[in-house]
Amino acid sequence: MTIFSAQFNNIGVTTQLDLFDIVAPSNSRVVIRQLEIGQYTDFGDLQDELLSLLLIRGYTNGSSGTPATPVNFDPYGRASTANVRVNNGTLANSGTPEFIYATAFNIRAGYFWQPLIDPRRDRQGDRELVLKPSQRFVVRLNSVPTDSITMNGTLVFEEIGTGNIAG
């Protein structure tokens, strides 16, 4: 099991962004394990707001943003071969998107998402959000904050090769 995290921190956000944009390696699948997004500049009741968030699989472009170097949780493990970008202002917009999850979150509480794992199910793909080789996954901040907020975010994923997920 090779698990990585990619993150951004101390980013001023004033517009719609693809917060994370990950493309699975051409020879491996990727399982999205966890997503966490938060901000630390707006705290008062008058600054309270809800922001829209979309989790999307299947786009084929989105070229700006900052390259992120995924970190292996095992310090002696291999480097990730997934391509990860953060804070992409050029929104991915071509291909055949699958809108997996749409939600909103309160900026004071932040956002935490972890797919449910049901031990009673063991068929491939039933338990996790899986990317095929070369498939893209986007975490989109789909609304514009009222004012600038400073955000952090972490995406945890696993590269699993092309065999079975379970095991």
Domain residue spans of the chain:
2-161
Q: Helix or strand or coil: residue 34?
A: strand
Say what the pLDDT of residue 125 is.
Answer: 46
**pLDDT tens digit at each of 167 positions of the chain:** 689 999 999 999 999 999 999 999 999 999 999 999 999 988 765 668 999 999 999 887 666 789 999 999 998 889 999 999 999 888 888 888 899 999 999 998 999 988 766 555 555 544 578 999 999 999 999 999 999 999 999 999 999 876 654 43
pTM of the model: 0.87
**Which phi and psi (to 5°) does residue 78 adopt?**
-75, 165
